[in-house]
């Protein structure tokens, strides 16, 4: 069985600080995401997967009269920036007024239906197809009443470049033989 190597997207930390106001109270929230693209050559379009690995850094600081309860960090991906799909998320209890952490996500974008092999692998041997993958990370801090106390999001893109090999296995093999066909009567 022919299997090709998986295409890998990797993630790292980089980002910007976002500040806002909740009921005229100063808050700060920060989340960061940086994803690099990859390239691969495949035979017959048999991809094993398109792995997205991302290390996400987040932080928040809310006023002392707020009561944080839970934090949700979500990773989104898609080929259309306006219609991305949530591919992974993590929810955790948060009881502190200030916190920061790093989280890691790993997900196969083929398995999640975000990318389709037919759409990212060229039909013709020797051809290369480039696909822009839009990625985003969102962070939301909630209180008991599910009001958002702090929030931020970051978006980026990564490019997949996949070349379909023009390798023809029939050029490297042969088969031959001989035989006889006989009609038998009763």
Residue at 16 is within a domain: yes
Residue at 173 is within a domain: no
Q: What is the pLDDT of residue 11?
A: 37
Residue at 170 is within a domain: no
Residue at 26 is within a domain: yes
In tens, the pLDDT along 48-67 reads: 899 999 999 999 999 999 99
CA 172, chain centre distance (Å) = 38
Whether this model's pTM surpasses 0.95: no
CATH number of residue 68's parent domain: 2.60.40
Residue at 177 is within a domain: no
Cβ contact 15:31 at 8 Å: yes
Q: What does the DSSP assignment read for 124-171?
A: STT-EEEEEEEEEEEEEEE-TT--EEEEEEEEEEEEEEEEE----GGG
In the chain, % of residues over pLDDT 70: 85
Residue at 135 is within a domain: yes
Q: What is the pLDDT of residue 34?
A: 75
What domain range includes position 105? 7-165
Q: 111 to each of 7, 24, 40, 55, 115, how far by Cα in Å?
A: 13, 44, 18, 20, 8
Residues of the chain under the 70 pLDDT cut: 1-27, 45
Backbone dihedral region of 76: left (phi > 0), alpha (psi from -120 to 50 degrees) or beta? beta
Residue at 68 is within a domain: yes
Query: Tokens representing 82?
Result: 């306006």
* Strand runs labelled E in the chain: 7-22, 25-36, 38-42, 50-61, 70-78, 85-93, 98-108, 128-142, 148-164
Residue at 186 is within a domain: no
Distance CA 113, CA 99 (A): 34
Domain count, the chain: 1
């Amino acid at each position: 069985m022919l299997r090709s190597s998986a295409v890998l997207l990797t993630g790292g930390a980089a980002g910007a600080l976002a500040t806002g106001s909740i009921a005229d109270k100063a808050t700060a929230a920060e989340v960061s995401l940086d994803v690099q693209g990859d390239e691969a050559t495949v035979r017959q379009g048999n991809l094993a997967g398109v792995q997205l690995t991302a290390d996400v850094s987040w932080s928040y600081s809310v006023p002392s009269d707020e009561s944080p309860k839970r934090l949700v960090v979500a990773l989104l991906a898609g080929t259309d920036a306006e219609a991305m799909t949530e591919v992974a998320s993590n929810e955790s209890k948060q009881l502190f007024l200030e916190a920061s952490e790093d989280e890691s996500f790993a997900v196969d974008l083929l398995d999640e239906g975000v990318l389709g092999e037919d759409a990212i692998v060229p039909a013709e041997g020797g051809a290369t197809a480039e696909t822009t993958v839009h990625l985003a990370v969102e962070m939301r801090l909630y209180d008991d009443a599910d009001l958002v106390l702090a929030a931020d999001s970051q978006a980026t893109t990564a490019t997949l470049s996949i070349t379909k090999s023009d390798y023809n296995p029939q050029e490297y093999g042969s088969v031959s033989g001989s035989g006889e066909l006989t009609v038998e009567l009763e």
